[in-house]
Amino acid sequence: MENLSPQATQSDSSIAQPFSDAARAAVYETIFSRRDVRGQFLPQAVPEEVLARVLLAAHHAPSVGFMQPWNFLVVRSPEVKQQVRGVFAKAHEEAAAMFPDEKRQIYSKLKLEGIVEAPINLCITCDRQRTGPVVIGRTHIPTMDLYSSVCAVQNLWLAARAEGLGVGWVSIFNEPELQAALGIPPEIVPIAYLCIGYVSHFHDKPELEKAGWLPRLPVADLLYYDRWGGSDPQQADPLTATVARLQDDIQTRGHFPR
């Protein structure tokens, strides 16, 4: 693969250099075109080389204290997939009853997993005791190891999108039942159950957005400066107008401005 990293040595500047325009655009395109895939999986096998690359991308995520708390449980067995699908189906039925009537009708029509259809299933876990009880950076926020494992999920997701692979994160499980189906010890935390494979297409927008479940929030409404809340400080900062313009461009053009 072509090395897209900036040059390691800089003769004319002490500032680390950005990627080339093409490489930078590819990063943004990957981020903005990533989708949670549920129903478009193809039976085509994922080559070992491709799967290995996305797993290595996940393994190079940042982790608190460099503890690397993740494991990657690859599921190919149709029998195991069916067991996991049964765990999902039970939780899915329970979840439907939790929504008010109008939301329940939408929920019942959504396809929220591709467990059986996807060639590869992957469970990313977190071993919270991997490097012992005292971890640099986790001394005061003990959940940092969980957040680190989520970073591994995001790395894998973006690498998979760049490879043309769809990924669907299934989170509607009773955790102990998922652990039992996969033989995961009770002290190991399942972080993400992912369905992975080539797909017929990627949606132009997230499926929940297209289904009218929720809209994408304007970034400008989520910005504060220096302190939380206050007297609407975002209206006075030019960054607010800039992010609003970029978000409008993305929605209009369907991709990040080049």
DSSP assigned state of 99: S
pLDDT at 12: 57
Burial of 47 per CB tally in 10 Å (0-12, 13-18, 19+): exposed
Average pLDDT over the chain, rounded to an integer = 91
Identify whether residues 75 and 172 lie together within a single domain. yes
Asked if residue 242 and residue 121 are part of one domain, the reply reads no
The one-letter code for the residue type at 122 is L
pLDDT for 212? 87
Q: In the chain, what is the greatest distance between 2 CA atoms, to the nearest angstrom?
A: 65
Is 183 among the domain residues?
yes
In terms of domains, do 96 and 121 share one? yes
Predicted confidence at residue 2, as pLDDT, reads: 47
| Pair (238, 181) in one structural domain | no
Same structural domain, 165 and 47: yes
Residue 161 lies in a domain: yes
pLDDT of the residue at 254: 63
Question: Does 186 lie in the same domain as 99?
Answer: yes
> How many structural domains are present in the chain?
2
pLDDT digits (tens, 9 = 90+) for 226-257: 888 755 544 567 888 898 889 988 877 766 65
Residues 93, 210, single domain; the answer is yes
H/E run at residue 123: strand 120-127
How many of the other CB atoms lie within 10 Å of CB of 244? 16
What pLDDT is stored for residue 250 in this prediction?
83
Residue 10 has pLDDT above 60, yes or no: no
Q: 145: closest CA among 132, 126, 131?
A: 126
The tens digit of pLDDT for each residue in 61-91 reads: 999 999 999 999 999 999 999 999 999 999 9
In 3D space, the residue among 110, 61, 95, 88 whose CA is nearest the CA of residue 195 turns out to be: 88
Which pLDDT does position 258 carry in this prediction?
Answer: 55
Element (H or E) spanning 176, and its range?
helix 175-182
Quick one: pLDDT at residue 3? 54
Q: Is 61 helix (H, G, I), strand (E, B) or coil?
A: coil
pLDDT in tens, 97-110: 999 998 998 899 89
Please state, in angstroms and rounded to a whole number, the distance separating the CA atoms of residues 220 and 224: 9
- pLDDT value at position 132? 96
Domain with 227 in it: 217-258
pLDDT, position 252: 79
Check whether residue 145 and residue 126 sit in a common domain: yes
Q: Which of 220, 116, 133 is nearest to 170 (CA)?
A: 116
CA 80 – CA 67 distance, rounded (Å): 29
Determine, yes or no, domain membership for 28.
no
Query: Does the pTM of the predicted model rise above 0.85?
Result: yes
Kindly report, residue by residue over 156-204, the tens digit of the pLDDT. Answer: 999 999 999 999 999 999 999 999 999 999 999 999 999 999 999 999 8
The verdict on 130 and 223 lying in the same domain is no
Query: What average pLDDT does the segment 207-222 reach?
Result: 89
7's enclosing H/E stretch is none
